[in-house]
Amino acid sequence: MPVGCSLTPEFQRPKQDIPAAFRNPVPEPSPELPRPTSQWWLAYNSDELNALVEEALSNNHDVKAATQRILQAEAQAGSAASSLLPTISLGAKRSADSPTGGQGSIINPPTNRTHRLSQMGLSTSYELDLWGKIRASEVSALASALANVHDREVITTTLVADLVLTYLQYLEGNDRESVARQNIANMKTMHAAVRERVRLGESSRLELAQQRNVLAQGEATIPPILLQRERAQNKIAVLLGRPPQSLTLGSKSMLELKIPEVSPGLPSDLLLRRPDIKKAEANLMAANANIGVARAKMLPSFSLTGERGWASQLFDTIINPGSIYWNIAASITATVFDNGKTAADITFSRAKFTELAEVYQQVVLTSLRDVEDALLGVRLENDLEVAQEEVLKASLDAYSLSSEAFRLGMVDYLNVLETQRTRFQAEDARVQARFGRLEASVALYKALGGGMESDQPEKPATAAAPEGTNKPETAKPENSEPAKAPGDARLAPPPGNSSHTIETASAD
């Protein structure tokens, strides 16, 4: 329906200076390496992880609840849009009243006091949208529905990142337990060797007690590792939307995962990719439309009503041509005095728009900080893992040399104990450094809004599952919808590599 005069301000994004590049860049991937798609978890090359993510996207209750909120918002938008067209209703009525001339018409009631009437027909009503109030209400409702769509994208992005990170924690527990048990086995071997030396009189009972203490300390590290791993598995089950008792994961290692290479793109890409930014912008659009709704309330509203049907005192004659009736009416309504209510509504709508404009700009700044922190983490965690590899290599050499020297009687047992502790700490720190590097990649993907879209996304090759390992029990329910990647709405990034500034005019 045409709109006579819209009172809604023209919407533009709030002004925000966007830098031309990130302060902590990572090395650009080789030209033959495809840019990661929104299904960024595929880059880790894990069948087990892929199956878990697909099940979570299909069955997670938070995602399902967000989908229902989208349906609610779409229904509200449809309700608002329905006012743009006339309302037509069909009705029928049978009534009886007394006296026949109406209440108080006869002082001395006659014998026949009852007036009966049968009526049926069509009625219609329509409000002319001269000032764009109804159209603005529809725009506001549609923007709110879009905000709910982006809210689901936020939930799915957070869900996938949380699931991948928790799965990495589970694998870290597997690796740390393996390292701890290997070191405990070495400690038991050394404890047996020292006990034999004590029997031969070549070592003291103090050295045996010291080795027994080191062995006990090593065994004491196992329960906390198992506690962390089992908690991670329980959390994964809840993220999948099922009880913890039903989930079984394989005994895999972080070393089986591929470390993904990520191209962060331009800072301005975040405006098109991060669902929280798109959600904030949609809320801002809704607030801008509400200003038009509030303004239109100051002007008169015009309505048309009409009715056509049949009416008769006798039901048998209701369809006779003489029983046909019709009426049509036009009305105008204007607020003369409302004690400042309309002006207050306009002030509220403007203040709400200004508030959400500040929220939008804060979300943009927060997204830039998230990416900078993630890029910094990727670079430094990589450096840390390289350094820990050197630490581990040196500690293994020191332990081997000190053990051999102790057997030859060249050093005392304290040197062996120290290198033994250092070796165990270095192996455990190396595992944690690998986890930190993988965790940093997850944080970067999340900060980027789920990865960058390419024109022809390519899936990484699927890793073959090692023999003897169990895949997770991730059977899908019947008639379940296929899993969708977060961020289904694909928007092309703006061209150019220069700094981007987004201009706006304030809502008046």
pLDDT digits (tens, 9 = 90+) for 191-229: 888 888 888 887 788 888 988 898 999 999 999 999 999
Q: Is the pLDDT of residue 262 over 70?
A: yes
pLDDT at residue 104 in the model: 66
pLDDT at residue 146 in the model: 92
pLDDT at residue 6 in the model: 72
pLDDT at residue 433 in the model: 95
More confident call, 419 vs 471: 419
Average pLDDT over residues 394-423: 84
Q: What percent of the chain has pLDDT over 70?
A: 81
Distance CA 423, CA 402 (A): 12
pLDDT at residue 497 in the model: 34
The domains located in the chain, with CATH, are: 16-85+135-292+346-502 (1.20.1600.10)
Q: What are phi and psi of 8, to 5 degrees?
A: -85, 130
At 297, is the secondary structure helix, strand, or coil? Answer: coil
Q: Is the pLDDT of residue 493 over 60?
A: no
Highest-confidence range of 301-315, 318-332, 388-402, by mean pLDDT?
Answer: 388-402
More confident call, 437 vs 27: 437
Side chain identity, residue 305: T
Distance CA 77, CA 209 (A): 76
pLDDT at residue 385 in the model: 93
- CA distances, 291 to each of 165, 294, 334, 501 (Å): 43, 5, 19, 25
pLDDT at residue 361 in the model: 92
Round to the nearest angstrom and report the end-to-end CA distance of the chain: 25
Mean pLDDT score of the chain, rounded to an integer? Answer: 81
Average pLDDT over residues 2-8: 64
Least confident of 27-41, 91-105, 132-146, 239-253: 27-41
Degrees to nearest 5, angle at CA 428 with 422 and 432: 135
pTM comes to 0.75
pLDDT at residue 94 in the model: 84
Average pLDDT over residues 387-401: 92
Q: Is the pLDDT of residue 480 over 50?
A: no
